[in-house]
Structure 1
Amino acid sequence: MKALSRRTYLSAALLLAAPLALLGADTPVVPPVASPATDAQADKALIDKAKVTSLPAAPTTDQVTAAKLVYGLLSDSRYAYRPRPLDDALSTDMYERYLESLDGSKQFFTAADIAKFDAYKLKLDDAIKAGRLDPAYAMFSLYRKRVDERVAYARNLLKQDIFEFEGSDRFEYDREEAAWPADTAALDALWKQSVRNDWLRLKLAGKKPDEIRKTLDKRYTNLASGIAELKGEDVFQTFVNSYANAIDPHTDYFTPRSADNFNLSMSLSLEGIGAVLQRQDDVVAIREIVPGGPASKSGKVKPGDRVVAVGQGESGPMEDVVGWRIDDVVAKIRGEKGTKVRLDVIPAEADLDSKPARVVMVREKVRLEDQAAKSEILTIPAGASGQAEKRIGVIELPGFYQDFEGRRLNKGDYASATRDVAKLLAKLRAENVDGVVLDLRNNGGGSLNEAIELTGLFIDRGPVVQVRESGGRVSVESDQDAGIAWEGPLAVLINRGSASASEIFAGAIQDYGRGLVIGETSFGKGTVQNLVDLDRWPANEAARFGQVKLTIAQFFRPSGGSTQNKGIVPDITFPASVDASEFGESTYENALPWTRIAAVPHTRYGNFAPLLPKLDALHEARTKGDREFQWWAEDVAQFREKQAEKSISLNEAERRAERDREDTKRKQRQAERLSLGLALDPLADDSADDGLQAGERDLRKDVAREKAAEDRPDPLLRESAAILADAIRLLNNDGKLSAQVLPTAQQPGHWAD
């Protein structure tokens, strides 16, 4: 099975659902936006300009071949872990998924539209087999028409006198279970409430009517132009993914460009100028500068600057990129290391019609350090016991990244989560920390090899994960390297967003009794995917057909249990921040069920069961007096309560009173922080809803706010470190307990001083 691809990995849950436009890996995924709406004529010209990406009348030859290749893979039990026949039943499933990808909120199509589409319900299987896109294009064409109609209606509403907010009206924003609107009149009623809610949010944020009207008019125009920009390849990818996702939640199809972006995200590096870009009005702007990259070294560009033209080499023609899709601009700026690229840039503070400055940069390989592992040290005070304070090292790991190509070529500097964590552990050891917390919150997974090798930093050889293929054969993937990088006290912090490779690691640490697992029950993704290059079979020199992220196996813990659906249950639990019925593997109707296989022999360094009641008691007592932890728990409870409502009041007095309560709460908390000597929340004065969407805010302020958010108090991380400090103290001070918990004191995992 592994002959299919050398790149076996465990993908990030939910992050690769099939969007209509998959943007660059170094680009924030934000809605495409267009130029300011100044008048109707300018807006029409803008939308017409975007429509140059009109849909083809028929699929390309490459798309026909790609669809057939995808069918061959997903229907063959030699490749797919759980193949499904492409029949009428699967066609119906595809139909529902394709509809959801177009109009998941049921705000564009009417019931009459759906009745017409029903003719395709049993024909999509034949369309895939034959490589035909007729149904996909027909449904998308009507979708684009309905978007234009809804935008025209919404913009017309802005001219009407409908913005009094009294009475008991509510806006229903969660429409997943709602029926399709019966007719245009029903859509009008839905959109009227939506527009009124948009207006009210901006009004509550202090915006004046003229400013609100201008902001919303631009927003709705941008929606139409963004949909108009979508190309045939976007529709093709979405349509084929309605098939791939019907097989299982983690099987996906990528076009050649999307595959490149995915590989870049996994390798944590790219060849370019080292700038994060974002669409801002009708231009692409620089959102962030990557330290050490060409853009940073040039000193000639900064966040907020707009890129209006791009040229290749010393003398290639400058191409005007105003109005372009962001992924097209990114493709022009990226390029081979050592080559030159010229940018015409308009400073953030200048008018868009100002004369641009030309900047020449030499492309380099840029490491995306902000997505790599990083560390800090937390000091946990002695408390009432009078014992010595403990210094706990924290390593935050956002993903199990690996530069597959760099590793294959044996490049010494290839990106690797394990190599980075090993360096951080050496640094923490040199600083004499008492224990280490590995923070895997919201770590959606990544490379299977990295999960195995990272576990090997904490155990001395042994099985890490069992992998069962479609035919039933079970293989055991083990850490083969002798020695470990960190022998001391260890805790792993997880939440519902910890998935896949994170669960392999946390499950192995738990099975070995090597460390404590703290937090929330994890996501529950227990399947393995390979990235299969569809150009392998025709042996193409250039990428033509794309790639498939294909589920090929299921993984099991050394103890034999699967993490599928159930996830990893922590030893010490925090309140659940996300309802398991709303997020996680168990929410997918076609997810594999939980199951178990035989365990494999593995070392048990410790048994924390006798220690857990004492840790729980100390944790409960401490958090009762921890205001930051209490506030977090209150906010989680409030969020879940609001989420359950699925609608929001359009009564201004009610909304303003709620906003005032939130503002008062933030001020009171900030004052209490001062009185208790706690670190202030850097966003306490900037947490109210501003009514804006991504792309509408001042980029420089938005980035500054994100940076400030990194310094916000993190009570869960601190409490995890405190729990680990408790464990260290208890085991050091109680020889009998220590003998129960860590009977093999001479082995790695010995926690005593």
Structure 2
Amino acid sequence: MKLKKAPALLLALTLMTPLALLARGDGDAVAVAPTADQSNTSKLVYGLLSDSRYAYRPRPLDDALSQDVFKRYLEALDGSKQFFTAADVERFAPYRTRLDDAIRSGDLAPAYEIFAVYKQRVEERVAYARALLKQDFDFTGDQRWEYDRKEAPWAAGTQELDGIWKKSVMNDWLRLKLAGKKPDDIRKTLDKRYANLQRSIGELKTDDVFQTFLNAYTSAIDPHTDYFTPRSAENFNQAMSLSLEGIGAVLQRQDDLVVIREIVPGGPADLSGKLKVGDRIVAVGQGKSGAMTDVIGWRIDDVVAQIRGKKDTQVRIEYIPAETGIDGKHTLVTITRQKVKLEEQAAKAETITLPASASEPERRIGVVKLPAFYQDFEGRRRNPNDFNSATRDIAKLLAQFKADGVDGVVMDLRNNGGGSLDEAVELTGLFIDKGPVVQVRESGGRVTVNSDRKSGVAWDGPLAVLINRGSASASEIFAGAIQDYGRGLVIGETSFGKGTVQNLVDLDRWPSNENARFGQVKLTIAQFFRVAGGSTQHKGVVPDIAFPVSVDATEYGESTYDNALPWTRIAPVPHTQYGNFAPLLPRLQAMHAARSVNDKEFQWWSEDVAQFRAEAAKKYVSLNEAERRAERDKQDVQRKQRQEERKALGLALDPLAEDLADDGLGASERDIVKDAQREKLAEKRPDPLLRESAAILADAIDILGQDRKLSAQVLPESPGPGRWAE
């Protein structure tokens, strides 16, 4: 986790619920009862999750589980407890032990009845919040907005909810006031924000409610079992494959319009030379002569469905150019759809040069940044020699590093939440010469070993793996294998702790539907174990060299799930031990500590982490303007001082130093063009953790190169994969 504006993270809380985030709006009313397909889907999901042949840890769908599903459904709708009252929850009480019957029978009326009340409460709360905007607020007292209400009791009644919402509105108002907004502008911004919240809930479709309810059931089985509607499943698979067929544009909804957020380089939209970031789409037509369909006010996923299509087909897009006002002249462009690779999530390389010192030579460390373990499963089935794959892409990057003569490689897996198990195994194979990578235990207890079976390696030199709390699943398989083999150093924070394996099950395969009707389930089918026998479940991968903890294990990670599998271990499997870094670690730790004390960027990051964790622990923000303004001014002064120090020390300047203060706005309220530019600048911000990881790897190279006795002790299998010293 790269903390960019730690204090503002706490202040940027807005009145949104988990379900509200699903809304993308075209005005369709939510049905009061499920469709026939949804009823059948419910039965299929029940059959799947209650069968030990499929589920790793099946749970009987009884009254006890029904109560858990009930609790999770209410949390999905109103996790912040800002809409339902205790009386509402008591009114729903008869459903506590009836949801199991509803799921088994496919009679899901209770879920929709609860949602209908939720929708009504949203309308009431929004009306109250908008009415509050007519008054002025007193920010001189000692009130505070306690935003973390997860463990709070349900509000006793409307009066208590009024008090909660008044403080929330005051916080929204104060954030905008501190950002320099005038009262009239604040009223206009917040009135639109709250109206959009109500609209987003009103525009939810029956599929959205159904998916939310079924996921209350799947998450009661285990934290990583999920249900996807046909459309959600399509989006998930495209994200995993890093490819789609369309025009190559990322869209975002802003009020009633869908706006272009990003143009994919090299995609059809980019090559057309017409569309650009900020353009507002108003109508879409199919082919050269199909009727133009007005899409103003549509849900963003419905607009995307209109624009996507098969390769070599044409789509016509009517839009208002970004540089004109909302009433500007409309422009029409015809684009031929093509297969688009989503390069933003693909593996990327860079090289860090560490200057020579009095005792050490200059070192060049190659870095591979991998956001996800992606693979185009369908593409691999069609053509095993040509498909999107993290391993295939990284093999090319490593070949280039070899050609460039870099001294070592850092695999940056920070915030990599995982992906394909096969990719984790194959990627490990780029650094080891054959051998087991991960053990997989199925529900019946059978253990299989997934191994790298290809001779040779793509990189046999010095290696480090950088992880943080956001590194999960496939990232933990890779980092754990590298650590167990003694193939490289693991640096950073203890990882997420997800030690389970999921598989996508297509629910249409049983009725043999020609078209997608029932969706898919991402089902936990197994648990993985490291070759040394231990699981990463709960405990994660513990780094050899640790950085300050940015997120506490009680706040984020597998250990925060109340129904996660426990940690356990099985027998290890024989594997090569290329190295044993234990004798080297004390010296590396001492050198890291000495260097980081004098590394301004690293120290600033550590300070921000400490400040962020202290603020997060409070779980509230003050509603006293003087106090908040003093905090804001202190942060502004700190940013300016740091920028001046960077100049004095000859360090790279922070390109966002002038743009880190909280603006009080939500993502959909900001200028999209400027916001997209900020995102690009954020990629160029100083990254002291990555640079320090490269420095630690360089330290290891230098120590082992100078101390042959220690080198022989640390790397007994050298030469071969893991050769660090010439």
Q: What TM-score bracket applies, with the shorter chain setting the length? A: over 0.9
How far off is 1:382 after superposition?
2.5
**Which residue number corresponds to residue 442 of structure 2?**
469
Matches within 5 A, 1:45-444: 52-161=27-136, 163-383=137-357, 385-410=358-383, 412-444=385-417
Q: Which residue pairs with 2:9 in the alignment?
A: none
Task: Compute the displacement of 1:172 (Å).
Answer: 0.9
Residue range with higher mean Cα deviation, 476-485 or 348-357: 348-357
The answer to whether the 8 Å contact 2:412/2:467 transfers is yes
Conserved? CA contact 2:30–2:203, under 8 Å = no
Deviation at 1:411, TM superposition (A): 5.4
Which of 695, 698, 722 is the equivalent residue of 1:749? 722
Aligned residue among 644, 647, 657 for 2:617:
644
Alpha-carbon distance, 1:355 to partner:
3.0
Contact 1:21–1:234 under 8 Å retained in 2: no
Post-superposition offset of 1:694: 1.0
Identity %: 73
**Structure 2 counterpart of 1:719:** 692
Structure 2 residue identity aligned to 1:462: G
Is the CA contact 1:519–1:574 (under 8 Å) kept in the aligned structure 2? yes
Stretch of structure 1 that moved more, 740-749 or 448-457? 740-749
1:67–1:128 CA contact under 8 A, matched in 2: yes
What SS class does the counterpart of residue 493 from structure 1 fall into? strand
1:492 equivalenced with 2:458 (yes/no): no
Could you tell me whether the CA contact under 8 Å between 2:24 and 2:298 is conserved in 1?
A: no
Code of the aligned partner of 1:308: V
- Cα deviation 1:230-284 (Å, max 9, x = unaligned): 0001111111111100000000000000000000000001100000000011100
Contact 1:20–1:237 under 8 Å retained in 2: no
Contact 1:290–1:368 (CA under 8 A) maintained in structure 2 = yes
How many angstroms apart in 1 are the aligned matches of 2:355 and 2:583? 24
User: What per-residue deviation string (whole Å, max 9, x for no partner) do you get for residues 385-442 of structure 1?
Assistant: 4321100000000000000000011154311000010000001111100000000000
2:24·2:301 contact (CA, 8 Å) conserved in 1? no
- Structure 2: runs of 5 or more not aligned: 1-16
Q: Distance in 2 between matches of 1:147 and 1:616?
A: 53
Alignment RMSD (CA, Å): 1.1
SS in 2 for 1:671: helix
Alignment-derived partner of residue 648 in structure 2: 675
Shift of 1:751: 0.5
Give the CA deviation at 1:745.
Answer: 1.5
Structure 2 CA distance, aligned partners of 1:335 and 1:550?
Answer: 29
In structure 2, how many angstroms separate the alpha carbons of the residues matched to 1:322 and 1:136? 30
CA contact (8 A) 1:19 1:238 kept: no
Which residue in the other structure is 1:37 paired with?
A: none
Equivalent residue runs for 1:578-657 within 5 Å: 578-657=551-630
Using the alignment, how far apart are the partners of 2:646 and 2:719 within structure 1? 44
Identify the residue that residue 448 of structure 1 maps to in structure 2. 421
Give me the whole-angstrom Cα distance separating, in 2, the residues matched to 1:667 and 1:370. Answer: 31
Determine if the alignment matches structure 1 residue 541 to structure 2 residue 481: no
Once the two structures are superposed, residues 652-674 of structure 1 have per-residue CA deviations (whole angstroms, 9 ceiling, x without a partner) of 00000000000000000000111
Return the TM-score normalized by structure 1: 0.93
Aligned residues: 710
Q: Which amino acid aligns with 2:87?
A: A
Aligned partner of 1:515 in structure 2 is: 488
Question: Which residue type is aligned with residue 418 of structure 1?
Answer: T
Q: Does the CA contact (< 8 Å) of 2:50 and 2:59 recur in 1?
A: yes
- Aligned residue identity for 1:555: F
Structure 2 distance, partners of 1:679, 1:746, is 38
CA distance in 1, matches of 2:370, 2:418: 10
- TM-score w.r.t. structure 2 length? 0.97
Seen in structure 2, the aligned counterparts of structure 1 residues 543 and 22 have a Cα distance that, compared at 3 Å, is farther
- Describe the SS at the equivalent of 1:608: coil
- The CA deviation at 1:19 is 5.4
For residue 351 of structure 1, report the CA deviation from its aligned partner. 2.4
Aligned-pair distance for 1:352?
2.1
For 1:145, the aligned partner's letter is Q
Q: Any stretches of 5+ residues in structure 1 without a counterpart?
A: 1-17, 24-30, 34-49
The residue type equivalent to 2:659 in the other structure is: D
Q: Is the 8 A contact 2:464 2:697 kept in 1?
A: yes
Note if contact 2:20-2:197 (Cα within 8 Å) is conserved in structure 1.
Answer: no
Q: Which amino acid aligns with 1:82?
A: R
Partner Cα distance (1:500, 1:169) in 2: 42
Structural mapping, 1:721-740, within 5 Å: 721-740=694-713
Pairwise CA distance, 1:32: 4.5
**3-state DSSP of counterpart to 1:685:** helix
Alpha-carbon displacement from aligned partner over 1:335-381 (angstroms, at most 9, x marks no partner): 00010000000011222233310110000000000110000000112
Identify if the C-alpha distance between structure 1 residues 32 and 546 changes in structure 2 by more than 3 Å, giving closer, same or farther.
closer
Distance 2:20 2:106 in 1: 21
CA contact (8 A) 2:411 2:466 kept: yes
Distance in 2 separating the partners of 1:222 and 1:348: 22
- 1:14-70 deviation line (CA, Å, top 9, x unaligned): xxxx954787xxxxxxx748xxxxxxxxxxxxxxxx6x4222232211111110000
Whole-angstrom distance in 2 between the partners of 1:718 and 1:92: 49
Q: In structure 2, what is the equivalent of residue 4 of structure 1?
A: none
Q: Provide, for residues 573-627 of structure 1, a one-character-per-residue CA deviation record: whole Å limited to 9, x for no partner.
A: 0000000000000110100000000000000000000000000000000001001
Cα distance in 2 for partners of 1:151, 1:498 equals 38
2:675 equivalent to 1:702: yes
